[in-house]
Structure 1
Amino acid sequence: MTENVGVIERLWRYPIKSTGGERLRSAEVDHRGMVGDRLYAVRDAEGKFGSGKSTRRFRRMDGLLNLSSRYAQGPAGEPGTPELIDHQGRAVADATAYLRAYLGRDDVELAREGEISHFDQLPLSVLTTATLDWIRREVPDVPTDERRFRPNIFVRTPPGTPPFVEDEWVGRKARVGSTVRIEFLRSSERCVMTNQAQQELPHSPLILKTIVTAHGNRLDMLAGVVTPGRVRVGEPVVLE
């Protein structure tokens, strides 16, 4: 039995991992995820990628979220090398040179994904308005929108939908738009990136603290791609 759980409110792609993303009206999706998403990253001499946290694969590099990235020719096809946008909204001429000066490190470079994935976990992240609205009610004094949680697909759910409805989708497949099919696998374990400042959003430790206390530090739903295709804002998301 199918169930229409909402419509696509916004689509986001993050050409350079851990920088601000670009809003799209439509996007091509392949088995890797949204075409061009996190295809590039800031890489240091040890091969670790710039992130909001330090792990086996990632190196914490504060300030990346104050930058953003975009592809000049739009979402269709092979996107090419992305532009790095500074905190004033200007495209920089040489991304690697700018990053070295900005981060105060001479061992970093803008690098395309190779054998090691730039993804933290799975190809697609899906978040609902029901969950985001709950967070806004819990921390009303902290400006918050979906950019803190970096979804690819932000879904507007019907009035009365409970927060964390995404949890109910684990193990189910969904049709997104007319061609794309995805499978919901698990939620994301959140890190300090949710607290970090980015354009128009100030730093606040209350965001992560609230998620930890109320929902075991997990928020959104991660999915793999079953059938590639194109998705568009305004299209339905239908559970199969």
Structure 2
Amino acid sequence: MGSVAALYRYPVKSMLGEAVSAVTVTERGFRGDRTYAVLDGTGAVGSAKHPRKWGALLRCRSRWDDRGRVRIVLPDGTALPVEDPALDVRLSELLGRKVFLSAVAPEHSRLERAVPEYEGGVPDVVRKSASVDATGTSVTTGSVAQGTFLDFGQVHLLTTASLARMREVHPAGDFDARRFRPNRRGTGFSRGHLAGRPAAGRRGAVPGGGAHAPLRDPDPRSRRAPAGPRHHARGRP
């Protein structure tokens, strides 16, 4: 049985988030996680998996305040509640095009992922399906889970065993856990358990909390470079 080393949630998708000491776990993941997202007029959901288009979001931080509201801290330190109409203007200026914050996922939303140039970053069948967009980036297009801003699983678990294995394989890499934007960082798992190997069919638990959930295959984040430049991820999650 592993133990919980840290818990994180990200009120706005692809912005920096907050470390928490306790969190309510629901069928949709951590309560308050990825509740909002930045969208544009094409239906694209802001995601750091397309850094050339959305990477500036990682310069913002989102958090829940003591009054139960989400506030966004912009790169210049200005903190605005999500209800402030000025926020869409500031985010549009930051990204260089008109965008808006939303708590509702469009029915026909698009989620774009940049395809890594290095070999092995994605399966060949995925690479063949990619197309070059207006930014000059080779991207694949999918969607978020219906009614949410989640694009892979409800909770992202990262283990110290996985990090150790990645450092072993690529010693020159920067595998700071915060770069992977996990919800839970766990310790105590053996290398054979969740060290980058398929875990589908197993069940994971939050020790002391009574929460159990089936584990899926490894998150694609573990097979490509973590989101964002190093200097974006060195702050607290």
Same fold (TM over 0.5): yes
Q: Could you say which residue in structure 2 is the equivalent of 1:165?
A: 195
Residues 95/36 of structure 1: CA separation in 2 closer, same or farther (3 Å cut): same
Q: Mark the runs of 5 or more structure 1 residues left unpaired by the alignment.
A: 203-240
1:97-134 deviations in Å (ceiling 9; x for gaps)? 220111121x2111103454211121011110111133
Residues 27-79 of structure 1, C-alpha deviations (whole Å, 9 max, x = no match): 0111111001101000111222111245xxxx9312111211101038xxxx5
- Sort the Cα spacing of 1:193 and 1:90 in 2 relative to 1 into closer, same or farther, 3 A: farther
CA shift, 1:165, in A, is 3.1
Equivalent residue in structure 1 for 2:228, among 196, 199, 219? 196
SS at match of 1:135: helix
How many pairs were matched up?
Answer: 188
Q: How does 1:46-125 map to 2 (within 5 A)?
A: 46-53=42-49, 60-73=53-66, 79-80=68-69, 82-87=70-75, 89-92=77-80, 94-105=86-97, 107-114=98-105, 116-125=147-156
Match of 1:28 in 2: 24
1:187 aligned counterpart, secondary structure: coil
TM-score, with length taken from structure 2: 0.68
2:165 is matched with: 134
Counterpart of 1:212 in structure 2 is: none
In structure 1, distance between residues paired with 2:87 and 2:172: 35
Partners of 2:13 and 2:47 within 8 A in 1 = yes
The alpha-carbon deviation at position 196 of structure 1 amounts to 2.0
Shift of 1:163: 8.1
For the 8 Å contact 2:11–2:35, the answer to whether it is kept is yes
Checking the alignment, whether the CA contact within 8 Å between 2:193 and 2:199 is kept in structure 1 is: no
| 8 Å Cα contact 1:52/1:192 also seen in 2 | no
**What secondary structure sits across from 1:170 in the alignment?**
coil
Counterpart CA distance in 2 for 1:144 and 1:89 is: 27
Partner Cα distance (1:192, 1:174) in 2: 24
> Partner amino acid for 1:99?
L
What CA deviation, in whole Å up to 9, does each residue of 1:131-158 have, x standing for no partner?
1133344555554311211111100126
- Aligned equivalents of 1:96 and 1:151: distance in 2? 27
Establish whether residue 154 from structure 1 lines up as the match of residue 154 from structure 2.
no
Comparing 189-198 and 82-91, the one that deviates more: 189-198
Q: What's the % identity of the aligned pairs?
A: 30
Are 2:12 and 1:16 aligned?
Answer: yes
Match of 1:206 in 2: none
CA deviation map 1:73-104 (0-9, x unaligned): 38xxxx54x21112355424642222011112
Question: 1:66, 1:199 within 8 Å by CA — same for their partners in 2?
Answer: no
The structure-2 alpha-carbon separation of the partners of 1:33 and 1:195, relative to structure 1 and needing over 3 Å to count, comes to closer
Q: 1:187 aligns with which of 211, 218, 231?
A: 218
The Cα RMSD (Å) is: 2.9
Report which stretch shifted further, 189-198 or 126-135. 189-198
Structure with more relative contact order (C-alpha pairs < 8 Å, separation 6 or more): 1
Higher relative strand content? 1
> How far did 1:10 drift?
0.5
